[in-house]
Amino acid sequence: MAQDTTDEELAAGWEASLASGKAGDDDAWSADTPQGGADAAPQSLAQQAVGSERILNQDEIDSLLGFSMEEENGAKKNGIRALINSELVSYERLPMLEVVFDRLVRLMTTSLRNFTSDNVEVSLDAIQSMRFGDYLNSIPLPAILAVFKAKQLDNFGLLTVDSNLIYSIVDVLLGGRRGTIAMRVEGRPYTTIERVLVTRLVEVILNDARKAFDPLTAVDFELDRIETNPRFAAIAQPANAAILVKLRIDMEDRGGRCELLLPYATLEPIRKMLLQNFMGEKFGRDNIWEGHLATELWSAPTTLRVVLDEFTQPLGKMMNLQVGDTLIMNATPESKAHLMCGDIHLTHGQVGRIGQNVAMRVEAPITNAAKKRVLEAR
């Protein structure tokens, strides 16, 4: 009975709402009818029912789904699209990579000052992770894209130089005046002179990147080709994740941006090194401890054995040896004796006598491999 009563009240409320809507079309009725009449309570109930089911406009729908023109232009993504992208571009933090790129900034500041003979300031804007396809679509054109190869890592990377930095470098290297903005000529491809000068800039940056990675691991970055169309600079699949490093280069009132992109496949061989936590400047080296260790190694006692010959005999025969038994060896007076440290062969020489002592004359240097094996055995 209670459910039937509620349904009847709701139906009566909707009828009253429709009746009030029809009455609202008549201006005279709307003006003469008091708002506190008998239909006030049913009408408010209907209005509350309609208000609880408000229809979203297009902006609210775009904000919920995360698809809007602002986000396509590079704004921060939100909504369902943000959830999808965060799942696809999720990555682990690489603490040592931040140290490497901080060192790259310091090296570039010095090398670019020598390269341009001008006051150059290099700053690190951001280190972020994104999909390779999204990065290619976000490159502002015109730009020059340098594809380089990391030899030891057996993969490729991408260095992008924007148009502002290109014209600034050309202006500086060709003797442009200070305090003037580099003139940009739109609607034409880059000339051979501009491409050559930018190639020299790219080689300087790649050399600094090699030095930045040296304390961690040896990596040689070799320029492969120069492209102006992002479609021809595809070094990875569009869905692959990559590390993007944004650098800002300022030369007084001129400058621009360059971006270094390294796919995760390139960094995979040294991922364990990049996961290390580090604080300092020398990548874990301690000069005091190194000096102490070297001193102790040089003064450590070592037992050496001079072996004339070796042969194999049954254990039973060796156990039955008596005083006066003779062991016949294959060595001759001209045979070389072997200098041994434990089971490690160091060198060989000739056995002789000095006074009352048996001596050995070394006839070959000790190899580095033997030294290393001795240190490992200790």
Angle at CA of residue 219, ends 225 and 263, nearest 5°: 60
**Residue 179 has what pLDDT?**
59
Strand order in 221-227's β-sheet? 121-131, 241-251, 254-263, 155-162, 143-150, 221-227
> In this structure, what is the dihedral angle of CA atoms 171, 177, 181, 186, given to the nearest 10 degrees?
-40
Mean pLDDT of 46-57: 58
Mean pLDDT of 103-131: 89
Q: Dihedrals φ, ψ of 77, to 5°?
A: -85, 145
CA pair distance 129, 296, nearest whole angstrom: 46
What proportion of the chain, given as a percentage, has pLDDT over 90? 13
| Mean pLDDT across the chain | 76
Helix (H) or strand (E) holding 224: strand 221-227
More confident residue, 66 or 317: 317
More confident residue, 357 or 85: 357
The answer to whether 340 and 307 have CB atoms below 8 angstroms apart is yes
The answer to whether 149 and 128 have CB atoms below 8 angstroms apart is no
In terms of Cα–Cα distance, which of 234, 230, 240 is closest to 264? Answer: 240
**Residue 261 has what pLDDT?**
92
Residue 23 has pLDDT above 80, yes or no: no
| pLDDT-wise least confident of 49-63, 172-186, 312-326 | 49-63
Residue 40 has pLDDT above 90, yes or no: no
**Residue 376 has what pLDDT?**
64
Angle at CA of residue 28, ends 23 and 30, nearest 5°: 45
For 157-186, the pLDDT digits (tens) are: 999 998 888 888 888 888 776 656 655 556
More confident residue, 378 or 118: 118
CA pair distance 43, 65, nearest whole angstrom: 35
Integer-rounded Cα radius of gyration of the chain? 40
Predicted structure pTM score? 0.53
**Residue 144 three-state SS:** strand
Q: Alpha-carbon torsion 170, 175, 181, 184, what sign? A: negative
Mean pLDDT of 247-276: 86
**CA distances (Å), origin 155, targets 133, 262, 264:** 17, 9, 10
For 237-255, the pLDDT digits (tens) are: 888 888 899 999 998 778 8
The answer to whether 219 and 126 have CB atoms below 8 angstroms apart is no
Residue 338 has pLDDT above 70, yes or no: yes
Mean pLDDT of 339-359: 84
DSSP state of 102: H
